Structures are given as structure tokens and as C-alpha cells.
Amino acid sequence: MVTSPASAQEAQGTVPAAPGGKAAIPIVIAVPCERPSGEQRVATVPEVVQKLTKSGFEIRIEHDAGADAYYPDEFFRAAGAKIVDGRTGLFNGARIVLHVQPPTPAEIDQLAEGTIVIGFMNPANNLDTVARMRDRKITAFALELVPRITRAQSMDALSSQATAGGYVAAILGADNCPKFLPMLTTAAGTIRPATVLILGAGVAGLMAIATAKRLGAIVEAYDVRRAAGEQVRSLGAKFLELEINAEGQGGYARELTPEEKVKEQEMVSAAVARADIVITTAAIPGRKAPVLITRKTVAAMRPGAVVIDMAAESGGNCELTRAGETVREQGVTIIGPRNLPARVAFHASQMYAKNLQAFLSLLVERDGGLVKEFTDEILIASLLVHAGAVCHGPTREMLGGGKA
Ligand code: NAD
């Protein structure tokens, strides 16, 4: 059982408790501008602000935090938020900070001990940030650690953002393809539909399949999890069958054996060679992405073919992918986009904000105060750092193991 900073602050008398236990002053939630370049999303939207203020929270939004997602300050103000210019005023007295990306070092240093920060933390790639939050006694919840159980579906930000990413990947593929996607019968002749191949039919892959189908393409898909076949077929796409079932724990894929990898490679290469657009989404949590398209496979692709590598940031599913860049090799365009959900920032922010609203409901008691202990299994699983300790085992080990 983990004691929440709320009870610690109440014990110190810094949070006046009203009769019945309800906080006499509203809990302040701060929403800063996202600093990393290319990040256009914002952690809350006016519709959610309206609901949170009705529930008794005070919401502070940093000036222009929603501007890049097309949520101007005046919309937030009309929804009941206070717009704050400058971080001192934003964080002063804030109990909770909502983020999309991990907080910056400067920001962590500005937060009071016990402040709760919620957002994507990408801990394996941000160990310095984790250590800084630990040392500053920040309480951080990492949304990528929310367990994928039915009760947590409304707070599954990995899925909501993968949905946004899968949609953008299909559009990006169509935009870079020199062909029409649908079949056309015109006075100038008949156009054959383009073939789109999706490798990895998880949340992003399924959304890419649905989007490419709507654009009129012939869609094929492959996943190491045989269970994905039914979902692929229900979207009207063809599922490529390989005599391997690599379903691992919790619905995720396990790593293939060397022999399985050779068989997979042969089948995937043949499908890649006949595709006009290939969208790759294959990932194994916590590991480098598997290479599914080798340099040799690219050489066998059609001129004008496009690869959208959604795994670019975790090493890439194509051997030639360079994260954040577009590579042209023998007439094939290989795009390794970063942060695809940010390209549909308006709706990606809306979905993310609703995920956070659902997550916040776990932190609040019926009387409106913060929970005294983190006993809910979703809170326990997603608690990254708390009270000067790293609570997530794998991250603790990466930081040198030992005690929490
Ligand atoms: P992910 O981003 O971890 O991986 C994407 C896909 O790539 C997965 O479908 C995976 O099987 C596939 N893949 C991995 N290695 C591959 C390879 N070598 N070749 C081809 N494909 C490969 O996946 P995700 O979108 O996060 O979803 C993972 C699973 O979790 C799915 O079964 C999904 O339905 C499930 N899920 C459950 C819930 C829930 O119950 N609340 C929510 C979201 C997702």
C-alpha cells in the first residue's frame, strides 16, 4: 500500500480539510505547454476542463498551451480554466500536473515535493528525468504502464494515441504514393486499386487497415499473433497466414525463434514486393523493434512504393529507416516519422484528455479530496516514482537496481 502525497500534506497541515474530509480549497490541476519540438498536443481540452471544474477542481492552463492543437486560450477560459502566463504562477499550489510528454528538468525543479505528475514518461529513454523526479520527491504516474484490463480501457492512452497514429500513417502513405488508392473506371481507362500491406495488426495497425480500406485500396496484413487474423478479416482485409503462433503474455507478441524468423521473412518479403504502400507497426514492448524489411527486400519493391515505418523511434521495422527522416532508395520512399499522433493534434488531444479525466477519477475520493493511499491496481501498476523511490521495477533496475 502506498500513501498518497495528499495525506502527507494533510498530515503536515498544508491542505486544510473541511468537515467530512473534503478539501476546503479546490485541488489545483496545472496544464503546461508541451516543450519538445514537434509536440502539438495538449493534455486537456475545454470539454474536459468544463467537467473537471464542475467536479470542484481548479484548472490552470499555461498561456497558449492548446494553441498548436487549435484550442485557443479563450475556449479554455470559457470552460472555466484560469489562463496563466509563466510557470511560477502555474505551478504555485498545484497538486497535480497533466502532461503529454515527460516534464523537463527545469520544470521538475519548479514543482513542490509531493506534486503528482501524470503523462507519458517513456522511462527507459528518460532515466535522468525519472531520477530527478525521484530526488525531488515528485509522484509520477506513467500512462504507458496502465494495465490493459477492461476497467482501464477508458484511460488507455497508448491505444487512443496509436489509433491516431495508425490513421495518420495511412494518410501519409497515400499522400506519398504516386498512385490512386481506389479502383477507378474512367473515360481515360481503368485504374487498378493500389495494394497496401500492414505489418503488425495491433491498435495502430487495425486503424491503418480501416483507413486504407476506406480509401479504396486492396489491403493485406500480417501479425505474429494468430488472434489478430479475425480482427483483420472483420475489417475486410486479407490476413497473411504463417504457421506460427507467437502470442505471448497479456495479448502481446513474444520474440520469434531463429527458424521462425526465416519463415516469416520469406512470406513477408513476397508480400512487401507486391505492395504499393507498406505500413509497419510491429513492436515488442521494451525491446528494439524487429526488422521485417531488409535492404534486400527493399531492392525487390516496386518503383514508387512507399514504406511508412511507425516503429522508427524504437529502431525501425525496415533496415533502411532513419527516425525523423525520409530515405529514397532505388525508387522506394522510406519514411520514419516521429510522433504521428501530434499530426492530428486536435483529436489526439481530445482522446488523451478523456483518458486523463478517467485516470483522475481514481485519484479522487467521493468527497472530492485526493485518495489517501494508492490501493487501486491501476494506480499501483502505473506509479513510476513516489516519495523518493522508483516504484517500477524494470526502471529501477535500469537506474542501477538496488533498493527502490
Ligand atoms: P504493439 O504496439 O505492442 O505492437 C503492434 C503489433 O505488432 C502487435 O499486434 C504485435 O503482435 C505485432 N508484432 C510484433 N512483432 C511482430 C512481427 N515480428 N511481425 C509481425 N507483427 C509483429 O501492440 P498494441 O497495439 O499495443 O496491441 C498489443 C495487444 O494488446 C493486442 O492484442 C491488442 O488487441 C491488445 N490490447 C488490449 C487492450 C485491452 O484489453 N484493454 C487494449 C489495447 C490493446
| Active site (annotated) includes residue 252 | yes
Q: Which helix (H) or strand (E) holds 9?
A: helix 5-11
The three three-digit cell numbers of residue 171, written as one number: 494518410
β-pairing, 277-280 vs 195-199, is parallel
**Can you tell me the mean pLDDT for 21-50?**
89
Q: Average of pLDDT values for 25-30?
A: 93
If you take atom 42 of ligand 1, which residue's CA is the nearest one? 148
Which residue has its alpha carbon closest to ligand 1 atom 39? 148
Phi and psi angles of residue 34, each rounded to the nearest 5 degrees, phi first: -80, 125
Assess contact for 361 and 55: CB atoms under 8 A: no
Closest CA to 87 of 119, 59, 61: 61
Using one digit for the tens of pLDDT, what is the confidence trace for 76-117? 999 999 999 989 999 999 999 999 999 999 999 999 999 999
Predicted structure pTM score: 0.91
Of 57-71, 96-110, 145-159, 262-276, the poorest mean pLDDT is in 262-276
Res. 8 pLDDT band, cuts 50 70 90: very low
Going by alpha carbons, the residue nearest to atom 16 of ligand 1 is 282
Catalytic residue (one of 35, 148, 151, 295): 148
Which entry of 4, 101, 159, 160 is annotated as an active-site residue? Answer: 159
Q: Which of 197, 191, 226 is nearest to 212 (CA)?
A: 197
pLDDT at 258 over 70: yes
Active site residue 167: no
Burial of 263 (0-12, 13-18, 19+ CB in 10 A): middle
Looking at residue 376, its amino acid is: D
